[in-house]
Chains A and B, each alone.
Chain A
């Protein structure tokens, strides 16, 4: 096995419903007629087009691209949540993606119950979870409140629990959609140390973030994604420069042009 992930010419094309032009601007009551006559048209949307990439052991790849370029979609595809419409995707190893880590908890259940529920959902047995609970409690510093329902937790406390839970298993292949950094000052360092240990423990990583400094400190290579295609693959510094010059500038030039046309 000389690679962890190998994607060859992968595309993801999804059928989409495009609601008819509502013209709410001209008449706000139009939405009533649209509710019953809902003339939506069917279309297809190419979320990813011809993406090829390999992730080798020890490699850490950064994903660069504008909002909506397809970074998260690509990560979800690599995590096995979506399947490619065309092309082939081979994955060797246990993949774990950290997406929306604070979703999916039960607000009525206590913190401790949520630890178990989440652990079971991640495929651990009840026994394995029992062994991990002290470690999770120690990391999240929630020992005093853990028996209370989750909806009494503050936002910060909930995030701590989410971070502790999602970093308790170190996967072989780590897919990160935005770096997890949160909490008050003291906790932030702790999270950072924990995240770095997870990254170090993983055989390979892919990280999508807009934080350039962070990407420079963690990744050595990058993929620049634009409108669902990989437009650059290779060295991180060159990639960042390419992104700055080609895509970012062009996009801002385009918006300037639009503004000029409108005025």
Chain B
């Protein structure tokens, strides 16, 4: 009885993986090796790695994804820590999760309203006598909006890791003479690292291929590989090169996964 159930699960799960994970990956790989002449070659990869343009763009993508992850982490860790100390944790957590229920594009447009020339922020600044500033189409506004979008995905895993820590451990540490700071540094932080790593994965990887935000908020002043993929699929119709960039992004993600994997289990 028990084996039959696990077999049904296996078939269902395996079929799902095959259809929606493995098959698309193979299609992408095949497209990236296809140069239109019928036979397979590495020409697209050659074109990518010999073009200064694409290499700069790849570097930009990684750099911005790194900055976004860093900013998100700096905001999220203290937030998750404070929420884990509060009484009505579930309520505060709900407030963090709530924005993810709203469509990404709508949130981006809301930021246009906030940051634009005559927007709320500039009206406030002008009201305080600080004059109005160019806020949209700057690297800062791009980072702000990207970080805002990603924050819930960083807070949740860190929060979960923090609440899983046995509170007796930190009490024991303080009983043994450690200061609050030492307790956090030597006990809480190491024990919450799996949550931090999961958060980094959840934020860094999608940030690599952001593209709508780069145009709407960044005004195409920030160009990432996501923009290039969009262009190759929609404008130049060079699906081969588009798929190649997709494969390279997947490769970058695998590296990110390996660097942040949980070593205790392996």
Q: Do A and B actually bind?
A: no
